[in-house]
């Protein structure tokens, strides 16, 4: 502040000084600052004549005493001008100090308000809005902006501008200038600043590593000063912690959202897997899938459909998380329909189909899936399988130690047009097949040691006499005991199949019609044998029924129609899980027979007939005859 | 005293009938027909070799019983070489004809020692 501005406050002091000199004979007295008159007394100034000049070098003040030529006053005048200067300088400093104190006070109050406001802003957007509004106000500039760079995401940019908002790219350009040269905090328009920005001052917010955030205030009339810089730093210093919290809060919300989505994905996946397993005579099946913490890529399926082999499959899509889960869902869907609707299902064909349908999807993301597909022909117990890199698959029989069925083929989703191969094993009573994903053998204990395939074989040998469920539970328990507190890293999925009777029975039936002639009688017997064998009925029972059927039909040809009479016999043969039922219908003569009184003739009597019905009664558990609407119906049943 | 030589020639005709396949209501009439002819020719000893019979029903059995009955009336007999197949032997046991027919081994068709 020029000293002249302070002079009015000291007019009287100056007049008193001037009056003293006038009394001592001066014509007039003038005070000058840097050569300019700032005070004169009396106002009418003598322009000529002798004058005595006293000068204070520190302040540039000069005292001109007109009409004084006595040099003995020189030192007095100099002392007076020096005193005057010092007084005014002190005054000036006091003024400046007061102004600065007031300003500081204002800013502290504003900063306090800002701090209080930011405490309530827990969301990043709210916080940045508050920071830009308040910092531009506090620094008396027309705008402010904030940029937050988060790893792997587009930067967050917010601005407050009293005029038209600047394009985001301009703000990012300014932030980039500062990022490149963080020590230089103020930039002025010199071709470097983006259009619309005259000057800018920036400061970074202290946030955790990997995140860079800065606050810039721009377009102040005049220039940003050092105190502006200090104030902005004070704002950013305290806002940094707030921003960190807000970012953490935002991440927590995002993570919670992702967790919820993951849970949903897991539910969808779980729902895809079979909820119930088919119950088949003589074959015990059990399957379990225990997902790791994240959604994963394991899947399995078991399909039992009439007149088709039992199909089961198990697979493991590489990787974890949503990508694996998505591919797993698609793969499972393709496999699910393939095993059910392919005209003839062979394991290698299921894999060929999966590879063909899914190759593009797998290639696109550089992933693939291992898979095992097995079909079990129920009557013959013949297992066919094809293994696309799936391990471990263990096969155990009562007479042989568990062995590993090697993965002969490459995973699905690797090579276009790869052809898979099927292998076969004849299974028999007590045989066990366990198809697992690598979540079993690769389970680790607290020491980091892997469970391995040898331990799995040992465990299976101990468990193989149990049911399929007991085997599955036993293996899972063994893994869990081994792992101890080591968390489950990967999904664990297994399908256990055990042969519990020599031949399995599925309900099957056949119908045929013959004409009542001897030469046609072999057809029903052959049909019975074929059906019974296919359905897995005991050989002994098939033989008994064959004979009974033969005897019944011979009787019908002989008696119902009489020799030479034309007619038809309808035959229905059903093989159920524990019995065979033979039903015939004919429109011949009613049978004149009392079944209760039928008994086997004495062989010694050497009778040449009359054995047929006795044989039938002897071989069958139930024999019934009914005459209705001119129709004879015979039903023979044999259980086992 | 010169040696007195007396000779008796035992001419026993044994008809061995070897069957291969099913002996059931359809096939039995043909067997009956053949045996009727043998009986008419005076044959009374029969061996039914059932080794390869795959299936035997009451009509087939009746055909054999018919032969047996007529053979025995003339002091002859019918013997059986037992079938291998259960489907053939089942009816013999069931009707207890296994106790009526004498069963022999294939090697016993010619009397012991020859």
- Please report the domains of chain A, with CATH numbers, ordered by start residue: 3-97 (no CATH), 121-251 (3.30.450.40), 278-499 (3.60.40.10), 508-639 (3.30.565.10)
pLDDT of amino acid A47: 58
Mean pLDDT computed over A121-127 = 81
DSSP A385: E
pLDDT of amino acid B111: 63
pLDDT tens profile A134-180? 889 888 899 999 999 988 888 899 999 988 888 988 899 889 888 88
Alpha helices in A366-467 (DSSP H): 452-463
- A525, A603, A606 member nearest B99 (Cβ): A603
What is the β-pairing status of strands B102-104 and B77-81?
A: parallel
CA distance A555 to chain B (A): 10
Asked whether the beta carbons of residue B100 and residue A604 sit closer than 8 angstroms, the reply is: yes
Mean pLDDT computed over A71-87 = 85
Q: Is the pLDDT of residue A307 over 80?
A: no
Mean pLDDT computed over A99-126 = 76
CB atoms within 10 A of CB B35: 23
What is the β-pairing status of strands B45-56 and B77-81?
A: parallel
pLDDT of amino acid A106: 76
Q: Is the pLDDT of residue A471 over 80?
A: yes
Mean pLDDT computed over A73-101 = 84
Mean pLDDT computed over A533-541 = 82
Instruction: Please tell me the CATH superfamily of domain B19-106, with its number.
Output: STAS domain (3.30.750.24)
Residue pair A199/A187 in contact (Cβ under 8 Å)? The answer is yes
Domain ranges of chain B: 19-106
Mean pLDDT computed over A437-454 = 92
Asked whether the beta carbons of residue A550 and residue B25 sit closer than 8 angstroms, the reply is: yes
Q: Is the pLDDT of residue A386 over 90?
A: yes
CA distance A632 to chain B (A): 21
Mean pLDDT computed over A415-432 = 91
Is A67 in CB contact (< 8 Å) with chain B?
no
Chain B contact set for A607 (CB, 8 A):
65
Q: How far apart are CA A203 and CA A235, in angstroms?
A: 9
pLDDT tens profile A504-534? 555 678 889 999 888 888 899 999 998 888 7
Q: How far apart are CA A212 and CA A152, in angstroms?
A: 12
Find the range with the poorest average confidence among A47-56, A313-322, A324-333: A47-56
Going by pLDDT thresholds of 50, 70 and 90, the confidence category of residue A406 is confident
Is B25 in CB contact (< 8 Å) with chain A?
yes
Mean pLDDT computed over B42-70 = 94
Is B17 in CB contact (< 8 Å) with chain A?
no
Q: Is the pLDDT of residue A600 over 60?
A: yes
Main-chain dihedrals φ then ψ at residue A569, nearest 5 degrees? -125, 125
Q: How far apart are CA A545 and CA A584, in angstroms?
A: 13
Of A274 and A474, more confident: A474
Going by pLDDT thresholds of 50, 70 and 90, the confidence category of residue B113 is low
pLDDT of amino acid B31: 94
For A344-441, strand residue ranges (E) read 369-377, 382-388, 393-397, 400-404, 423-426, 432-436
Q: Is the pLDDT of residue A22 over 80?
A: yes
pLDDT tens profile A185-203? 888 877 688 888 889 999 9
For A89-150, strand residue ranges (E) read 141-149
């Amino acid at each position: 502040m020029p000293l002249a501005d302070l002079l009015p406050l000291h007019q009287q002091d100056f007049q008193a000084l001037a009056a003293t000199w006038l009394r001592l004979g001066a014509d007039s007295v003038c005070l000058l600052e840097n050569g300019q008159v700032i005070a004169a007394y009396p106002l009418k100034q003598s322009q000529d004549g002798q004058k005595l000049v006293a000068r204070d070098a520190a302040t540039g003040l000069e005292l001109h005493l007109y009409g004084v030529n006595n040099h003995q006053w020189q030192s007095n005048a100099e002392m007076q001008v020096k005193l005057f200067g010092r007084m005014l300088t002190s005054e000036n400093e006091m003024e400046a100090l007061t102004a600065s104190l007031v300003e500081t006070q204002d800013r502290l109050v504003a900063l306090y308000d800002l701090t209080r406001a930011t405490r309530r802003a827990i969301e990043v957007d709210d916080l940045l809005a508050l920071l830009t509004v308040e910092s531009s106000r506090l620094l008396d500039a027309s705008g402010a902006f904030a940029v937050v760079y988060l790893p792997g995401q587009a930067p967050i940019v917010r601005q407050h501008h009293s005029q038209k908002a600047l394009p985001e790219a301009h703000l990012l350009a300014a932030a980039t200038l500062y990022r490149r040269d963080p020590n230089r905090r103020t930039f002025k328009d010199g071709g470097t600043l983006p259009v619309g920005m005259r000057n800018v001052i920036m400061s970074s917010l202290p946030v955790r590593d990997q995140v860079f955030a800065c606050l810039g205030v721009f377009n102040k009339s005049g220039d940003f000063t050092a105190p502006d810089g200090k104030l902005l730093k004070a704002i950013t210093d305290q806002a940094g912690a707030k921003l960190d919290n807000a970012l953490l809060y935002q991440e927590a919300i995002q993570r919670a959202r992702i967790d919820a989505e993951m849970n949903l994905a897991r539910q969808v996946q779980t729902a895809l897997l079979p909820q119930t397993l088919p119950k088949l005579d003589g074959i015990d099946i059990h399957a379990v899938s225990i997902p790791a913490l994240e959604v994963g890529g394991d899947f399995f399926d078991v399909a039992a459909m009439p007149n088709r082999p039992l199909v089961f499959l198990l697979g493991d899509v590489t990787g974890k998380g949503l990508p694996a889960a998505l591919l797993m869902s698609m793969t499972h869907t393709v496999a699910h329909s393939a095993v059910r609707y392919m005209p003839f299902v062979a394991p290698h064909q299921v894999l060929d189909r999966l590879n063909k349908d899914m190759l593009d999807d797998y290639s696109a993301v550089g992933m693939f899936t291992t898979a095992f597909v097995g079909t079990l022909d129920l009557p013959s117990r013949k297992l066919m399988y094809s293994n696309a890199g799936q391990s471990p698959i263990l096969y155990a029989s009562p007479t042989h130690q568990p062995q590993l069925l090697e993965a002969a083929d490459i995973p699905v989703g690797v090579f276009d047009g790869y052809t898979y191969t099927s292998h076969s094993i004849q299974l028999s009573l007590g045989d066990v097949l366990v198809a697992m994903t690598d979540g079993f053998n690769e389970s680790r204990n607290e020491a980091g040691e892997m469970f391995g395939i040898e331990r799995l074989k040992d465990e299976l040998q101990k468990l193989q006499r149990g049911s399929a469920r007991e085997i599955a539970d036993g293996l899972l328990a063994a893994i869990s005991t081994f792992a101890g507190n080591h968390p489950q890293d990967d999904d664990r999925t297994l399908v256990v199949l055990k042969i519990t009777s020599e031949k399995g029975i599925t309900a099957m039936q056949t119908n045929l019609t013959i004409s009542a002639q001897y030469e046609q009688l072999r057809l029903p017997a052959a049909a019975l044998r074929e059906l019974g064998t296919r359905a897995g009925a005991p050989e002994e029972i098939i033989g008994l029924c064959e004979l009974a059927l033969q005897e019944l039909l011979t009787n019908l040809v002989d008696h119902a129609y009489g020799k030479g009479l034309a007619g038809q016999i309808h035959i229905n043969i059903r093989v159920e899980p524990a019995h065979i039922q033979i039903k015939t219908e004919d429109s011949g003569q009613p049978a004149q027979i009392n079944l209760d009184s039928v008994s086997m003739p004495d062989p010694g009597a050497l009778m040449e007939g009359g054995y047929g019905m006795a044989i039938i009664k002897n071989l069958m558990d139930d024999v019934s005859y009914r005459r209705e609407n001119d129709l004879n119906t015979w039903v023979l049943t044999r259980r086992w | 005293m010169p040696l007195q030589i007396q000779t008796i020639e035992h001419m026993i005709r044994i008809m061995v009938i070897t069957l291969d396949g099913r002996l059931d209501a359809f096939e039995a009439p043909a067997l009956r027909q053949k045996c009727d002819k043998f009986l008419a020719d005076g044959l009374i000893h029969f061996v039914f070799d059932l080794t390869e019979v795959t299936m035997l029903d009451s009509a087939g059995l009746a055909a054999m019983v018919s032969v047996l009955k007529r053979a025995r009336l003339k002091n002859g007999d019918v013997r059986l070489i037992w079938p291998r197949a259960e489907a053939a032997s089942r009816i013999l046991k069931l009707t207890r004809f296994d106790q009526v027919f004498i069963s022999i081994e294939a090697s016993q068709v010619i009397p012991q020692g020859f």
